[in-house]
């Protein structure tokens, strides 16, 4: 069984690297084949003279074959050289570095909310049937139709205009102030995913509660709390875990919306701005970064699921 | 009874009967139909020209003259919401159609041929799956410029793996059933089996996924417009209107953002309710 798991994990790692490689190719070539001459963007608004064009083309190796440019780009990224922004002229790394922290904090805050409220309410809905369950189900059906931008404008109106308890613009200074400022953005990001996680959690637990092995455990006279923890929750955790992994990984891209709505300068707002201004080197690197985080997080969760429940891996590989 | 009759005859009747018993589903169907009517006939229903500026009535509250108020340029919000319905609804519809068609085709082909075709297409689907939809849409905007076309195409590609995984799994189960073998032995051609027998059997689950996909597509496209990368002002796409009304929230004029936001939520909610119904019907049809 153990060798089986190890072989599965090795296969997963290989698949992960292959996926990353293919994704980097897709991202690079999509951008490299973009209509429009990068020289115009690199010249920074002035009409370039023929000498300037030549100099720019030479500096950015634009006359090399595309695959050479790809290898140079990937090599650079692997060594931490992320290229230069068309718009700012500075290195992409220097644009990303000061923004990573605040975006990570925002996503982390959101993940905490989703985990506590989403999984918590899901468990509650599964355990307490009838009225509690009905209320939570109603809330979650509404919640899955409440995207970040809708919750954001509701919160900005309620707290910015009516109540004024939380700031609705910027990220503040210092850790505590950051948390204070990021509360509304994190709530606006989390509502839809809380609803989603709550439904997944409830579904997984209800499915386990009706399973035969749980009945058997109950009939054996084991304490209810023990049955719930060891037989229901543990067996319900693989699907909950895989969905949370995919959710959190996708969250990083969606955080752009919260950053935009609340005027926070993070990775998401940088990506949005770069796309709007056709700052292709920035878009390339950030897309690759988001894809890498997405793929790695999903793989980590798969491994965690495999450790909890080796059967899942076996079942998936046979599917 | 022939196989074709079995697979076709059971499709609409139970769904209709089940829906009739659930008032929530009926309400959702009514709302969704109303949204569809607005999407088609919105500009005709609008009481004012959606782009006409009423200078004396900037950021006016809800009134009889302007049931949804006016925006910061004095434009009638109700007329703008109605005129923007078409763009807000057609985008997600195209995403669902494209991703469903391509995803189903890829899945059926890879389930039918297996081997190398299956291996390559599964790997390809895996790679697309690794790029979040919103990232692919933003990438497309960076390449082809702002507007709805690039994000719609990008989201169609991004949603394809979800359809394709589902349909591939269903198709493999279905292909293992004795009736497919029976058809093969009778000498029925592969395209005929796929189109006349396999697809009808998979239709319920494809339909369920498509209905749910509409909601996601609508939210993603509205988010892209909210970010300023999709439909461009003065278009009255709902996402654009929500973003445009944001400054007025702090001045005590929430109508400009709230009404288009309400429409997005109500549309997605009603289609999701219908989607849940279609899903439970599809699960019933599987057995």
Which residue is listed with tokens 């990001």? Answer: A189
Alpha-carbon gap, residue B178 to B184, rounded angstroms: 10
Report whether A180 contacts A167 (CB < 8 A). Answer: yes
The answer to whether B109 faces chain A, any CB pair under 8 Å, is no
End-to-end CA distance of chain B: give it in Å, rounded.
18
Task: Indicate whether A243 pLDDT > 70.
Answer: yes
Print burial letters for B260-278: b (CB count within 10 Å at least 16), e (below 16). Answer: bbebbbbbbbbbbbbbbbb
pLDDT in the model for residue A284: 86
Question: Could you please report the per-residue DSSP string of B45-64?
Answer: H-SS-TT---GGGTT--S-S
Q: How confident is the model at residue A313 (pLDDT cuts 50, 70, 90)?
A: very low
pLDDT in the model for residue B133: 85
Report whether A80 contacts A93 (CB < 8 A). Answer: yes
Paired tokens of B232: 């461009």
Of A144, A160, A252, the CB nearest to B250: A160
Neighbours of B72 (CB within 10 A): 14
pTM more than 0.90 = no
Task: Indicate whether B184 pLDDT > 70.
Answer: yes
The answer to whether A150 faces chain B, any CB pair under 8 Å, is yes
**A-B contacts at Cβ under 8 angstroms:** 143
Cβ-Cβ contacts under 8 Å for A7 (sequence gap 6 or more): none
Residues of chain A contacting B258 with CB distance shorter than 8 Å: 153-154, 157
Interface of A with B in 56-115 (CB under 8 A): none
Of A31, A150, A272, the CB nearest to B265: A150
Task: Indicate whether B255 pLDDT > 70.
Answer: yes
pLDDT in the model for residue B9: 43
Work out the average pLDDT over A250-270.
Answer: 86
Ramachandran quadrant class, B48 (left: phi over 0; alpha: psi -120 to 50; beta: rest): beta
Triad A290, A292, A296: Cα angle to 5°? 120
Which ranges in chain B belong to alpha helices (H)?
3-9, 12-21, 23-45, 77-113, 115-129, 133-144, 149-175, 178-185, 190-192, 199-226, 238-244, 246-249, 255-286
pLDDT single digits (tens) B70-93:
777 767 777 788 878 888 888 999
Average model confidence (pLDDT) across chain B = 80
Q: Chain A: nearest CA to B264, how far in angstroms? A: 8
The answer to whether A300 faces chain B, any CB pair under 8 Å, is no
For residue A25, give the nearest of A65, A62, A70 by alpha carbon: A70
Work out the average pLDDT over A304-315.
Answer: 63
B138 and A256: CB-CB below 8 Å? yes
Of A141, A168, A275, the CB nearest to B229: A275
pLDDT in the model for residue A211: 76
Residues of chain B contacting A26 with CB distance shorter than 8 Å: 127, 131
Report whether A192 contacts B268 (CB < 8 A). Answer: no
Q: Chain A: nearest CA to B144, how far in angstroms? A: 7
Per DSSP, which regions of chain A are E strands? none
Alpha-carbon gap, residue B151 to B128, rounded angstroms: 15
What are all long-range contacts of A39-47, with beta carbons under 8 Å and residues at least 24 apart?
A: A41/A86, A41/A87, A41/A278, A41/A279, A41/A280, A42/A86, A44/A86, A44/A89
Coil/strand/helix, residue A223? coil
Helix (H) or strand (E) holding A94: helix A92-113
Alpha-carbon gap, residue A262 to A256, rounded angstroms: 10
Percent of chain A with pLDDT over 70: 90
Coil/strand/helix, residue B76? strand
Distances (CA, A) of B163 to A63, A253, B115: 41, 21, 20
| Residue B70 β-bridge partners | B76
Paired tokens of A109: 């805050």
pLDDT single digits (tens) A21-30:
888 888 888 7
Q: How confident is the model at residue B95 (pLDDT cuts 50, 70, 90)?
A: very high
| Residue B40 β-bridge partners | none
Alpha-carbon gap, residue A308 to B157, rounded angstroms: 33
Q: Which residue has the higher pLDDT, A274 or A248?
A: A274
Ordered domains of chain B (ranges, CATH)? 18-43+54-285 (1.10.3720.10)
Report whether B88 contacts B220 (CB < 8 A). Answer: no
Residue among B121, B122, B138, B225 with most chain A CBs within 10 A, to mutate: B138
Chain B residue with Cα closest to A271 = B138
| Residue A84 β-bridge partners | A91
pLDDT in the model for residue A2: 67
Question: Could you please report the per-residue DSSP string of A168-195?
Answer: -SS--SSHHHHHHHHHHHHHHHHHHHHH
Q: Chain B: nearest CA to A308, how far in angstroms? A: 24
Least confident of A170-179, B78-87, B167-176: A170-179
Task: Indicate whether B222 pLDDT > 60.
Answer: yes
The answer to whether B123 faces chain A, any CB pair under 8 Å, is yes
Paired tokens of B117: 């075709």
- Find the helix packing angle between A175-209 and A120-127, rounded to 10°: 30
Question: Could you please report the per-residue DSSP string of B214-256?
Answer: HHHHHHHHHHHHHTTSSS-TTS--HHHHHHHTHHHHTTT-THH
Work out the average pLDDT over A246-260.
Answer: 83
Task: Indicate whether A318 pLDDT > 50.
Answer: no
Coil/strand/helix, residue A85? coil
Alpha-carbon gap, residue B49 to B79, rounded angstroms: 7
pLDDT single digits (tens) B113-148:
878 888 888 888 877 887 888 888 888 888 888 888
Q: Chain B: nearest CA to A144, how far in angstroms? A: 8
Which residue is listed with tokens 């994990």? Answer: A9
- Name the DSSP letter for residue B194: I
ipTM above 0.90, yes or no: no
Q: Which residue has the higher pLDDT, A31 or B106?
A: B106
Paired tokens of B103: 């995803």
Task: Indicate whether A1 pLDDT > 70.
Answer: no
Report whether B217 contacts B96 (CB < 8 A). Answer: yes
The answer to whether A139 faces chain B, any CB pair under 8 Å, is no
B227 and A168: CB-CB below 8 Å? no
The answer to whether A44 faces chain B, any CB pair under 8 Å, is no
pLDDT in the model for residue B71: 75
φ/ψ of residue B72, rounded to 5? -65, -10
The answer to whether B143 faces chain A, any CB pair under 8 Å, is yes
Chain B residue with Cα closest to A277 = B142
pLDDT in the model for residue A33: 74
Residues of chain A contacting B215 with CB distance shorter than 8 Å: 144-145
């Amino acid at each position: 069984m153990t060798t089986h798991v190890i072989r599965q994990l090795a296969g997963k790692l290989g698949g992960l690297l292959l996926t990353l490689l293919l994704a980097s190719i897709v991202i690079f070539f999509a951008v490299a084949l973009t209509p429009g001459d990068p020289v115009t963007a690199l010249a920074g608004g002035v009409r370039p003279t023929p000498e300037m064009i030549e100099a720019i083309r030479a500096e950015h190796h634009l006359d090399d074959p595309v695959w050479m440019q790809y290898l140079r780009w990937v090599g650079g990224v692997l060594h931490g050289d992320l290229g230069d922004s068309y718009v700012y002229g500075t290195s992409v790394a220097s644009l990303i570095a000061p923004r990573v922290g605040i975006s990570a904090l925002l996503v982390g805050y959101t993940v905490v909310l989703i985990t506590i409220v989403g999984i918590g309410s899901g468990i509650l809905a599964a355990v307490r049937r009838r009225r509690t369950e009905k209320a939570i189900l109603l809330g979650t059906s509404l919640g899955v139709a409440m995207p970040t931008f809708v919750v954001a404008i509701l919160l900005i109106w309620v707290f910015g205009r009516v109540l004024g308890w939380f700031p609705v613009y910027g990220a503040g200074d210092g850790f505590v102030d950051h948390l204070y400022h990021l509360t509304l953005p994190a709530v606006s990001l989390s509502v839809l995913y809380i609803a989603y996680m709550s439904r997944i959690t409830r579904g997984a637990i209800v499915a386990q509660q009706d399973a035969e092995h749980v009945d058997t455990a109950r009939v054996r006279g084991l304490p209810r709390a023990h049955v719930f923890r060891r037989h229901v929750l543990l067996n319900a955790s693989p699907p909950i875990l895989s969905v949370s992994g995919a959710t959190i990984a996708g969250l990083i891209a969606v955080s752009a919306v919260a950053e935009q709505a609340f005027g926070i300068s993070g990775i998401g707002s940088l990506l949005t701005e770069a796309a709007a201004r056709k700052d292709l080197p920035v878009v390339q690197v950030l897309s690759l970064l988001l894809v890498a985080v997405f793929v790695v997080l999903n793989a980590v969760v798969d491994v965690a699921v495999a450790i909890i429940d080796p059967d899942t891996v076996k079942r998936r590989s046979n599917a | 009874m022939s196989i074709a009759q079995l697979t076709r005859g059971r499709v609409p009747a139970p769904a209709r009967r089940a829906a009739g018993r659930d008032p929530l589903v009926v309400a959702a169907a009514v709302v969704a139909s109303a949204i569809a009517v607005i999407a088609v006939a919105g500009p005709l229903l609008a009481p004012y020209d959606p782009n006409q500026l009423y200078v004396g009535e900037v950021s006016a509250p809800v009134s009889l003259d302007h049931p949804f108020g006016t925006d910061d340029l004095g434009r009638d919000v109700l007329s703008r919401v109605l005129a923007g319905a078409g763009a807000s609804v057609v985008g997600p519809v195209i995403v669902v159609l494209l991703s469903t068609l391509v995803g189903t085709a890829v899945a059926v082909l890879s389930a039918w041929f297996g081997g190398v075709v299956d291996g390559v297409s599964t790997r390809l689907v895996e790679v697309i799956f690794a790029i979040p939809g919103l990232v692919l849409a933003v990438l497309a905007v960076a390449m082809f410029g702002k507007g709805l076309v690039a994000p719609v195409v990008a989201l169609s590609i991004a949603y394809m793996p979800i359809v394709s995984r589902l349909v591939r799994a269903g198709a493999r189960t279905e292909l293992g059933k004795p009736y497919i073998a029976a058809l093969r032995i009778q000498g029925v051609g592969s395209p005929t089996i796929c189109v006349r027998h396999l697809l009808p059997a998979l239709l319920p689950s494809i339909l369920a996924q498509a209905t749910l996909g509409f909601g996601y597509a609508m939210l993603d496209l509205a988010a892209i417009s909210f970010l300023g990368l999709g439909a461009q002002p003065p278009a009255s796409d709902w996402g654009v209107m929500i973003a445009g009304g944001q400054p007025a929230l702090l001045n005590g004029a929430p109508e400009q953002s709230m009404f288009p936001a309400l429409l997005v939520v109500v549309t997605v909610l009603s289609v999701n309710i219908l989607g849940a119904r279609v899903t439970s019907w599809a699960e019933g049809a599987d057995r």
